[in-house]
Amino acid sequence: DSGVTQTPKHLITATGQRVTLRCSPRSGDLSVYWYQQSLDQGLQFLIQYYNGEERAKGNILERFSAQQFPDLHSELNLSSLELGDSALYFCASSVAASGNYEQYFGPGTRLTVT
């Protein structure tokens, strides 16, 4: 158990819908990263938040957005869903803003768009 929690575990929804994925970082960690992993693919970095502020953006679509709240949990919002958005979505947390510190991953949310 990494100490990072994600809900829900599974999500099945229809094209065009909107969903929200939730992540709670390890105690003491201020950074939250979001990654997308499509079937048999690598880890695509989406976005990073540190202490409530957006720090870095990766390959995140305009239909996706995220935020980090004062209690440091983060939410990833996916809208106008398409079949190709079906994937595992992981969040990871780290103590620092810089990428050269350990990142610990949550169990992931499996999103299926039908």
Partner 1 sequence: GENVEQHPSTLSVQEGDSAVIKCTYSDSASNYFPWYKQELGKRPQLIIDIRSNVGEKKDQRIAVTLNKTAKHFSLHITETQPEDSAVYFCAASKAGANNLFFGTGTRLTVIP
Residues contacting partner 1: total by CB under 8 A: 24
Check if the beta carbon of residue 85 is closer than 8 Å to that of residue 113.
Answer: yes
Which residue among 13, 20, 22, 55 contacts partner 1 (CB under 8 A)?
A: 55
In the bound state with partner 1, the residue whose beta carbon lies nearer, of 54 and 82, is 54
Q: Whole-number minimum distance, CB 69 to partner 1, in Å? A: 20
DSSP per-residue string spanning 16-55: T--EEEEEEPPTT--EEEEEEE-TT---EEEEEEETTEEE
Site for partner 1 contains 25 (CB under 8 A): no
In angstroms, rounded to a whole number, what is the distance separating the alpha carbons of residues 94 and 22? 16
CB burial of residue 22 (10 Å; 0-12, 13-18, 19+): middle
Check if the beta carbon of residue 49 is closer than 8 Å to that of residue 55.
Answer: yes
In the bound state with partner 1, the residue whose beta carbon lies nearer, of 95 and 97, is 97
Which residue among 23, 85, 106, 113 contacts partner 1 (CB under 8 A)?
A: 106
In the bound state with partner 1, the residue whose beta carbon lies nearer, of 79 and 110, is 110
Q: Which residues bind partner 1 (CB under 8 A)?
A: 2, 33, 42-43, 45, 48, 55-56, 58, 88, 90, 97-108, 110
